[in-house]
Amino acid sequence: MKNIKLGIILTLLLLWSTIFLSGCSILDQIIEDEEVEVMDFHQRLELKKTPKLVKTNPTILFLGNSMTFYNDLPSMLSNLSFSGGFNPDIYEITEGSYRLEFFSDEKDEIGKLVYDALDNYEWDYVILQEQSGISTMMAEDSMFPAARVLDQMIKTAKGETVFLMTWAYKDGFSFDILGKEIKYSREEMQTKMAQNYMSIANELDAMLAPAGIAFMRCSSEFPEIELWDEDLNHPSPEGTYLAACVLYSGLFDSSPEGLTYTADIEAQTAAKLQTIAAETVGVSVN
């Protein structure tokens, strides 16, 4: 709970400073966008496939915050991959409440680690995960510029950029600014996040792992599966497993259906999550 509250506070502080510097134009835009036309989360997604031959032992680097390290998504992806006959070498640079803007800043303490990793090592995939509030409200001013910097560094490191689209908070997102309440339902928040992730992925011709859309599909088709932790924002083990299945599907262009690794989740539940991930990414059983 501490990390997510801090993340919201930092997002609002950034929003306030941006509004101050921009003469309230950002606030005007947010108010105009308050009414969100919810997307169809079951529509077929046109996702970029891995542009390389699928390697059995790719090197993978995660850059993210607590949405990545909660339930240890990198290790879960590693174990799922082993179950499917792959042997990835996975690393992570994560920090609570961090956003891509910090990772792209060489002067930042954690950003220095990112620059070292991308300057001195080659990667097959670098997975970028943005802070949830930023990907909802401040994408053009914070997420997109940082993503462009990181993407260029990743390409120099001979890697492919992969955006990990995270999930909306279970009860949506709301805050009060200048006496006006701005409120997004879960569906509206996910729509904003999805639009922003898809926009920057298309611009940079990057891969996209649509875990957030998989969350929406799963919560619609299998409402008995709890995908959120008790804080209503971070993922439950089932939610992290679903995200791992989405990443597996995209990185290896292969369905996770039938894999024996279930992260100690009940087998029937894991099977449903595997199927949702495969259908969302658009892969079939080999």
pLDDT in tens, 197-245: 999 999 999 999 999 999 999 999 999 999 999 999 999 999 999 999 9
Distance CA 126, CA 146 (A): 14
The domain 54-281: what is its CATH number? Answer: 3.40.50.1110
- Compute the average pLDDT of residues 3-17: 51
What SS3 class is residue 164?
strand
What percentage of the chain exceeds 70 in pLDDT?
Answer: 87
Quickly tell me which residue has 């011709």 as its tokens.
Answer: 205
pLDDT of residue 253: 96
Q: Does residue 266 surpass a pLDDT of 90? A: yes
pLDDT digits (tens, 9 = 90+) for 186-198: 999 999 999 999 9
pLDDT of residue 23: 47
Q: Does residue 31 surpass a pLDDT of 60? A: no
Q: For residue 212, is it left (φ>0), alpha (ψ between -120 and 50) or beta? A: alpha
Q: What is the average pLDDT score of the chain?
A: 90
Confidence of residue 181 (pLDDT cuts 50, 70, 90): confident
pLDDT digits (tens, 9 = 90+) for 62-119: 999 999 999 999 999 999 999 999 999 999 999 999 999 999 999 999 999 999 999 9
pLDDT of residue 13: 54
Which residue ranges make up each domain of the chain? 54-281
Report the candidate in 91, 49, 43 with the shortest Cα–Cα distance to residue 68.
91
Q: Is 285 in contact with 255 (CB distance < 8 Å)?
A: yes
Report the candidate in 120, 197, 208 with the shortest Cα–Cα distance to residue 157.
120
* Lateral strand order in the sheet of 59-64: 89-94, 59-64, 125-128, 160-164, 207-209
pLDDT of residue 19: 45
Q: Is 278 in contact with 250 (CB distance < 8 Å)?
A: no
pTM: 0.90
Confidence of residue 176 (pLDDT cuts 50, 70, 90): confident
Distance CA 128, CA 121 (A): 17
- Compute the average pLDDT of residues 236-263: 98
Q: Does residue 1 surpass a pLDDT of 80? A: no
Report the helix count and the strand count for the chain, using DSSP H and E. 12, 7
Quickly tell me which residue has 């999930």 as its tokens.
Answer: 167
Give the N- to C-terminal CA distance of the chain in Å, as an integer.
40
Q: Does residue 2 surpass a pLDDT of 80? A: no
* Helical segments of the chain, H only: 2-22, 25-32, 66-69, 73-83, 100-103, 109-120, 132-137, 144-156, 186-203, 211-221, 237-252, 267-281
In sequence order, which residues have a C-beta less than 8 Å from that of residue 67 and are 6 or more positions away?
Answer: 129, 132, 166, 234, 235
